Amino acid sequence: MVYIQQELERLKSEVLEMWDLVNSQLNRAGEALLSLDKEMAREVMYREKRVNAFELKIDSDCEDIIGLYNPVALDLRFTLSTMKIGTNLERIGDFCEGIARFVLDYPEVNIEADLFERTGIKEMITIVKEMLRRTRDAYEQESSSLATSIFAMDTRVDELNRAAIPIIAEHLQQVPERAIECLNLISIIRRLERMGDHCNNIAEDVVFYIDAKVLKHADNTSK
């Protein structure tokens, strides 16, 4: 049993390191978007390969633990949850790369600063960053209450996503020559909404690991 505990501790350290990398990617992608900083966007693109490598390593390590040690109960839930968390973190990293690619692909675009405010993009970035930070703390501290606290935050991200579309449509009517810009802003908002969903998935995995409760497809707002 000593050996499996050592492996589980090593796996936990590994996924927390991946978490820190994805958190850095999100911070950089958000800053690159709001400032249209191409150099920072390039850094996000370059570091995406490390995120992918982390996911592959975590998947492999989880499979090895299951195959070699046949974990049960809490240890099995931890291993399965960690594997799924790695996948969700990788998807968040993909969305960060997509935002960075927007900054690089449209270097001449001149987005009005107040449009980021009116569409809720700045608020969405702030909320998703807090969701990612809070889920990491929940995983590290083994706190299901901290994990479930992000569900209301995800609801707010969903609200901002829905509210942004008519705002962008109105902007497009006023400046139809900015159609490409507006379509890409919708794509970015959608990416941020999906990041919130993946943070929500991670929170559900943390609760499953700690409390053996399956929240997937449940009404999380009532939890």
pTM for the whole thing?
0.91
Question: Three-state DSSP class for 119?
Answer: coil
DSSP 8-state code for residue 222: G
Which residue range forms the structural domain that includes residue 130?
A: 2-222
Count of CB atoms situated within 10 Å of the CB of 162: 11
Mean pLDDT, residues 94-112: 81
- Residue 36 — very low, low, confident or very high, per pLDDT cuts 50/70/90? confident
**pLDDT greater than 50 at residue 48:** yes
Residue 143 backbone phi and psi in degrees, to 5: -115, 105
Mean pLDDT, residues 55-70: 95
The domain that holds 23 is classified in CATH as: 1.20.58.220
Mean pLDDT, residues 98-115: 76
Mean pLDDT, residues 104-124: 78
Question: Three-state DSSP class for 219?
Answer: coil
Rounded percentage of the chain residues whose pLDDT exceeds 90? 74
**pLDDT greater than 90 at residue 109:** no
Q: In the structure encoding, which two tokens stand for residue 36, read together?
A: 């249209």
- Residue 218 — very low, low, confident or very high, per pLDDT cuts 50/70/90? low
Q: For residue 220, what are the CA distances in angstroms to 138, 150, 163, 165?
A: 16, 10, 21, 25
Q: Torsion angle, CA of 111/112/115/121, rounded to 10 degrees? A: 50
CB 27 within 8 A of CB 129: yes
Q: For residue 30, what are the CA distances in angstroms to 76, 113, 128, 181, 210?
A: 36, 14, 10, 17, 31
Residues in the chain: 223
- What pLDDT score was predicted for residue 222? 42
- Arithmetic mean of pLDDT over the chain: 91
- What pLDDT score was predicted for residue 213? 76
Higher pLDDT, 21 or 107: 21
CB 40 within 8 A of CB 28: yes
CB 16 within 8 A of CB 136: yes
- What pLDDT score was predicted for residue 219? 60
Rounded percentage of the chain residues whose pLDDT exceeds 70? 91
DSSP 8-state code for residue 49: H
pLDDT tens, residue by residue, 149-175: 999 999 999 999 999 999 998 888 888
Number of domains in the chain: 1
Mean pLDDT, residues 88-113: 84
- What pLDDT score was predicted for residue 223? 42
Which residue from 175, 148, 136, 43 is spatially nearest to 97, judged by alpha carbons?
A: 43
**pLDDT greater than 90 at residue 214:** no
